[in-house]
Amino acid sequence: MNVRGSLSEETIQQFLSTQTIPIRLGCQTPAGTPWMLSMWYRPRVLENDGSSEWVLECATGKGAKVVTYLTETPELSFEVSTNHPPYRGVRGWGTATIEPDPEMSVLRSLVERYLGGTDSKLAQDLLDEDRDEVTISIEPATVYGWDFSNRMRDVASGPETRG
């Protein structure tokens, strides 16, 4: 994986692990037009024969359009970035693979990460046993991390603090 920008790979991994901002994915439809969507994600480090690589995992229904799109053209772009100053984030491109998740283990992990548990109606609806879920695993080829905290240090941290 090629790491570019002002952040180290370790800092990028830490940012992705601590943020619960949805990932924005850009892919291509079978007609060749761009498609963008936001999804929940989790970073995972995979150990392979003494080396490690990391992936970003998302979950969705087997019949979702993005599954069709990524099956045909698995290359995609992605971004996870803060919405309020000072802006920080990670963007890049890579390749997606799609695998069944009959136990909904990735989805369950995402529900717990983003909703804080599985007790809400939304969580229960998402984890309904009749759902046919898949995991989208993104293997980054190039990542670019940035942090404008120094450049924007005199900017309030969000719109709610501005007068």
Residue 159 has pLDDT above 70, yes or no: no
pTM: 0.87
Half-sphere exposure of 163 (CA within 13 A, CB side): 0
Is 150 in contact with 7 (CB distance < 8 Å)? no
Residue 2 has pLDDT above 90, yes or no: no
Q: Which pair of tokens denotes residue 132? A: 């046919």
H/E element, 41: none
- pLDDT tens per residue, range 14-51: 999 999 999 999 999 999 999 999 999 999 988 777 77
In tens, the pLDDT along 84-113 reads 888 899 999 999 999 999 999 999 999 999
